[in-house]
Structure 1
Amino acid sequence: MRMNEGVEWAVHSCLNLAWLGEDRAVPAARLAAFYELPAAYLNKQLQALTRAGILTSVPGPKGGFRLARPIAKITLMDVVAAIDGEEEAFRCTEIRFRGGSGGGRTPANPKPCTVASGFRKAEMAWRRELAARTLADITSEVERTNPGAPDRVRRWFDDNR
């Protein structure tokens, strides 16, 4: 399974917004400039986060994006679902009933597909892990392993107003 690169961009943007403070709205172009990302593409990710209730879009000359709720209430799974969607990664098409395997016949009460069950179990473990980690967990870990990061973010955004 491969996640859209927009997931990474979205998580980093949320972390920066958290370090900048709840009341500060930042334009997409400024968030994009911080990482030298294409502003139009990052804006699409930020709009998806807004539709998911993770960010709020503030109109006007001092507008931009800010967090819609505390980072302790935003999970990595919330961000992944907002950017990549909630659809399951594996979709069973029941090929076990085709050709030489089943000749097009579908049993009256088929047992669940073992292949699909295996993938579903693995995906559920992945989703549970992402749902168990909040952006607050991530910011705490960044601040522990790279204590100067929040100040560098604030300084860059203050210097580039």
Structure 2
Amino acid sequence: MKLSSGWEQSVYVLLILAQLPQNKSMNSIALSERLDVSHSYLKKIIKCLVNEGLIISVPGKYGGFSLAKSLEEITFYDVFVAVEGRGKIFASQQLLKKFLGEEEGHNAQKCAVTDSLESIENTLVSTLTSITLGQVYSQIQSHYDLKELHQWVEDNV
């Protein structure tokens, strides 16, 4: 399984927006330039974050985006759902019957492959749900000096 690049971009957009002073917003151009990513793709990702209620779109000439929730309230799974969608992560094609053949396929009930994938999915969802962006930001703060980031945010608000 491979997460889209939009998932990682979303995480960093949320981490940047968390640096904004209260009642301030930042536009998508500044965000895409800071992350050095495609502006058109980032706008699509931001739309997903808005639709999922993770960020707020502020209209107007000086509008932009701001966080709708604190980093402590946003999990990796929330970001995953916003970017990748709400469907099953692993969708079984129910190939057991084909694998067993016409005769034995009629007896097929329990598929070890599907069961294993469901177990993996449950573990993945549980793990993604257990990690908040607040925890991630705390780790970043403990390892790096964020003065340059804070100055950049101040200059781009």
TM-score (norm 2): 0.91
1:38–1:143: structure 2 CA closer, same or farther, 3 Å change rule?
A: same
Offset of 1:115 from its aligned partner? 0.5
Contact 2:26 2:156 in 1 (8 A): no
Report what 1:47 is aligned to: 47
List aligned pairs for 1:12-161, cutoff 5 A: 12-98=12-98, 101-103=100-102, 105-107=105-107, 110-146=108-144, 148-149=145-146, 151-160=147-156
Distance 2:96 2:111 in 1: 8
Deviations 1:66-120 (A, max 9, x none): 0011111110100011001122232212211126x1317434xx53311011111
Matched positions, count: 156
Contact 1:22 1:67 in 2 (8 A): no
Distance 1:136 1:160 in 2: 23
Letter in 1 for 2:20: L
- C-alpha distance in 1, partners of 2:122/2:21? 33
Equivalent position amino acid for 1:155 in 2: Q
Report the TM-score when normalising by structure 1.
Answer: 0.89
Q: Secondary structure at the match of 2:57?
A: strand
DSSP 3-state at the match of 1:66: strand
Distance 1:106 1:57 in 2: 53
**Deviation of residue 160 (structure 1)?**
4.4
SS at match of 2:56: strand
Name the CA distance, whole Å, in 1 between partners of 2:73 and 2:21: 16
3-state SS of paired residue (2:154): helix
The amino acid of 2:130's aligned partner reads A
In the alignment, the residues of structure 2 paired with residue 133 and residue 96 of structure 1 have an alpha-carbon distance, to the nearest angstrom, of 35
Partner SS state of residue 142, structure 1: helix
